[in-house]
A and B are shown apart, each in its own frame.
Chain A
Amino acid sequence: DAGVTQSPTHLIKTRGQHVTLRCSPISGHKSVSWYQQVLGQGPQFIFQYYEKEERGRGNFPDRFSARQFPNYSSELNVNALLLGDSALYLCASSHPTSGGRLQYTDTQYFGPGTRLTVL
């Protein structure tokens, strides 16, 4: 079975531009989470979506938004790019193991990431 896929692999943008990153979860997984990983640091949580609804949001500005589609794929959008948005953006998918409810016990499986460079 295919793992989590993300596109594009790399992206170069300039300050002020907008970017859209895409993610397809593992087949059968209905939850997608997004993380930002700045060079030299651990990933930081941005969003979690489940059944097409936003279920959790990290400490990121409103320039960051996301959505999940009926096929459970997801897009992360970032407006008005800043130099500090340069990072590896990771998507993770998971599937509730208990009663169809998101649980902190669920394992998240990550994709290869999209490396965004803002000049």
Chain B
Amino acid sequence: AQKVTQAQTEISVVEKEDVTLDCVYETRDTTYYLFWYKQPPSGELVFLIRRNSFDEQNEISGRYSWNFQKSTSSFNFTITASQVVDSAVYFCALSEEMDSSYKLIFGSGTRLLVRP
């Protein structure tokens, strides 16, 4: 069965520390897409990145970077020099194809608290 596991329930860091959020997935598909979303206290899920299973290149966007390793079924997310505004719940998700549609399968999320 398709599954996403985010083992870290909550992480607390001091501002300017680097932090890595782990994501491990299970899928029977050979091609698939993975996503990261950020959920601030307002509740809206903010799209951060989409990565396909063919592309194992790491990606960097400002202070954010993602490490995708197909061999270990992991898609980890690192925030460099964390800021208070990074405090949120972060979700990793796997896109699962259905008969004539698709759905996102989410992990349980990691709550990140960045303290001043």
Contacts and interface: CB of A to CB of B under 8 A. Distances in A.
Contacts of A55: 98, 100-101
Nearest to B92: A42
B103 A42 contact: no
Contact of A43 (B32, B42, B50, B106): B106
A42 B108 contact: yes
A35 B4 CA distance: 16
B107 to A, nearest CB: 5
B103 A58 contact: yes
A14 interface: no
A102 B104 CA distance: 13
A88 B45 CA distance: 11
Report, as a range, how many residues of chain B touch the other chain.
20 to 34
A56 B104 contact: no
Contact of A111 (B44, B102, B108): B44
B99 A104 contact: no
A58 B101 CA distance: 11
B96 interface: yes
Interface in B71-98: 91, 93, 95-98
16 contacts: A33-B103, A35-B104, A42-B109, A43-B45, A44-B106, A45-B104, A55-B98, A58-B103, A90-B45, A105-B33, A105-B50, A105-B95, A107-B50, A110-B37, A110-B45, A110-B46
Interface of B: 4, 32-33, 35, 37, 42-47, 50, 52, 91, 93, 95-109
